[in-house]
Chains A and B, each alone.
Chain A
Amino acid sequence: MRRRLTIAFALVATVAIAGESALSLMQAGMPSECADFAAKVSASEGNFGTTNQYGCLGAFQFCPGTFESYYKGSASSFLSDPSAQVAAWKQYQSNEWSKAQSNGLTSAVGQQVCYNGRCATVTESAILMACQFGCGAKGKLANLVNNGMDCNARDVKDGNLVSVCEYLIRGSGYNVSCFTGNPADCETSAS
């Protein structure tokens, strides 16, 4: 009995952190070509109704103060409105891409990056995934580009010593043309 409960709990826990699927994101307005990338991000963030311990909200975990920058309404209405979350995140991703371009971070596209025994070619989707470490002129990705792509430098890591290269590799190979306005720079979407 106890084992069955444990398995059931593990299943629920897995479902709870699985994030939104590409299909549910498309139903909320995500362009189909970018749905796989969006689902990849959501998988490590949350579901439409998720609030975490820091007060970050929804399928893409907009943290306090940031969802208000892209949405006019309360936290509860944002949480209960998948279409609003997708619309906010689409605009956020487009803005992050613009920031990455203006700060020279897209110069990393096409370069090979290796970290912890894994390698990947930096694509536009890799840049957007790494923008979770900041796409500003003083962010982790900027530090990486400016230091010659040294994934082990302290200033390319977060407070848990996770390198921005981890995110570049995780995000490589997806179609993000709906955010960047460029033709897809990968043959097929990763899955």
Chain B
Amino acid sequence: MRFVISALFVTVAAMPAAAEEITFPTAEVFRNARHDPSRIWADADMTAFGPNDRGATVTEFRATTADGATWIVSQIKNAECSSHLCPTRLVREASDGGRRVYADDLMQIGGHFSLNGSTLSDGSGSFPVEPGRK
């Protein structure tokens, strides 16, 4: 019983750091692109959504955490989009440049993104972040 209580205490004590909310207030937009400057999307993904487009549009949000890593939310307007949703990836870039994708789904266009614990929100819905988030 004492072990269970201790384990519970340790778990709860560890939660605040893991659940720290990260918001993505500013965006950089690359319009009518044939290549993604951040290389999160392949050239094959750079397709046009509609007749007025000459390529894809990538909207990128970045937030740097205390450990020097950068979380990137990258949303691409391409042929995979509907008028409401577009493919969106959550990527962590470590201070040594190493990258890993933690979420990859269709998310709200114009969404307000935030990362809280193991959940990425686009302001409309929630998406699980794959295990292993630091």
Expressed in whole angstroms, the Cα–Cα distance for A68 and B51 within the complex equals 9
Q: What 0/1 readout, one digit per residue, does chain A (134-147) give for beta carbons within 8 Å of chain B?
A: 11111110000000
Residues facing B in A35-64 (CB within 8 A) are 53-56, 60-64
Query: B83 contacts A61, CB within 8 Å?
Result: yes
Q: Which of A62, A63, A71, A134 contacts B80 (CB 8 A)?
A: A134
Expressed in whole angstroms, the Cα–Cα distance for A88 and B80 within the complex equals 18
Query: A65 contacts B79, CB within 8 Å?
Result: no
Is residue B92 within 8 Å, beta carbon to beta carbon, of the partner chain? no
Centre residue among B80, B123, B125 by max chain A CB count within 10 A:
B80
Query: A54 contacts B109, CB within 8 Å?
Result: yes
Count A/B pairs, Cβ under 8 Å. Answer: 97
Is residue B107 within 8 Å, beta carbon to beta carbon, of the partner chain? yes
With a cutoff of 8 Å between Cβ atoms, the chain B residues found around residue A27 in the complex are none
Expressed in whole angstroms, the Cα–Cα distance for A61 and B81 within the complex equals 14
Is residue B71 within 8 Å, beta carbon to beta carbon, of the partner chain? no
With a cutoff of 8 Å between Cβ atoms, the chain B residues found around residue A56 in the complex are 83-84, 109-110
Is residue B21 within 8 Å, beta carbon to beta carbon, of the partner chain? no
Given contacts A65-B57, A131-B82, A159-B126, 14 further A-B contacts (CB under 8 A): A54-B111, A63-B84, A63-B108, A63-B110, A64-B109, A65-B109, A65-B110, A66-B81, A72-B52, A133-B85, A134-B80, A158-B106, A159-B122, A160-B126
